[in-house]
Structure formats: structure tokens, C-alpha cells
Amino acid sequence: MHKLTISSSAPDFKLPDQAGKIHQLADYRGKWLLLYFYPKDNTPGCTIEACKLRDSWADFGKFNVSVLGVSADSVASHDKFAAKFELPFPILSDESKEMLTNYGVWQEKTMCGRKFFGIVRSSFLIDPNGKIAKIYDKVKPAVHAAEVLKDLEVLAKNY
């Protein structure tokens, strides 16, 4: 898999959300899409990120942006996580890790000297034509929603 770049086509996907509804990239043609990849439901950073996106939901709506969270957790885990924190957006389950691999976020990580594979917290802002408009590496959960909204003010205006 080559590294994704700005203006390249976003890789397609077809995955279930927390309610079992299938989502694919084509469903979001004609609107902005924020795909945010996170390591694990109910962990501190992931919860902060999801809640900040939830709290900015109305602001995302002003830009006609859909938000999709993605992790390797199960549909059942996502269902509990979304209900617990009243998340207004779908969270996709990629237990096969195909989408995670296609977007380059399934990588070798190191913690406490131990190497393992996991999700690197990253996001992709996809334009209404399915092209990658912005890539966010090393996302900081507490400020990510505000960062994306700031970028949308410029990108959506120039689109």
C-alpha cells in the first residue's frame, strides 16, 4: 500500500457501524467527510476525542460534514461506546483491519519496550469528490475537532 497523499483518491470501504448499518465511501459523495481512526473504545484519549467531536457536532453541520469513527473494535463494543457517550455519528467496525491497512493507520507501535501492531491515531478529511483534502497525523484528542473546523473554514470556502 502506497502512502496516501493530499488530492489522492480516498480508498473505498464497506463496513458496519455500531447499529450494523453498512457504510461505504460512495454514500458520502457530494459532502465533506472526516474519517477519524482511533485505537480503542472506552480508553481515555479515544473517549476525549469522540466527545470533543460530539460537542462540535453542530459546527460540523454548518460545513455539511459527515463524521465517521473507525477502529478494530466489534460492532457490539461500538454500540456500547456510542450509547454511553451519546455519540451522534457512526463508528465503523473494521475487525478485518482491511480499511485500517488501506489508510495506512495499522502500524507497528512500541509501548514500554514492547512492539505490537495497532492503530495510529489519525484522521483524513475527504472532499465532496472523494479526494483527500487534509491528513492529520499524530492527532491530539483534546484539540482535534477544533483543528478540523479551522481547516474547514479555509478548505470549504475554496472548494
Catalytic residue numbers, as ranges? 46
The long-range contacts involving 40-48, CB below 8 angstroms and separated by at least 24 positions, are 40/71, 40/73, 40/119, 41/71, 41/73, 41/77, 41/78, 41/80, 41/81, 41/91, 42/77, 42/80, 42/81, 42/84, 45/121, 45/141, 46/71, 46/141, 47/85, 48/141, 48/142
Q: Strand 122-126 to strand 132-136: parallel, antiparallel, or no bridges (unpaired)?
A: antiparallel
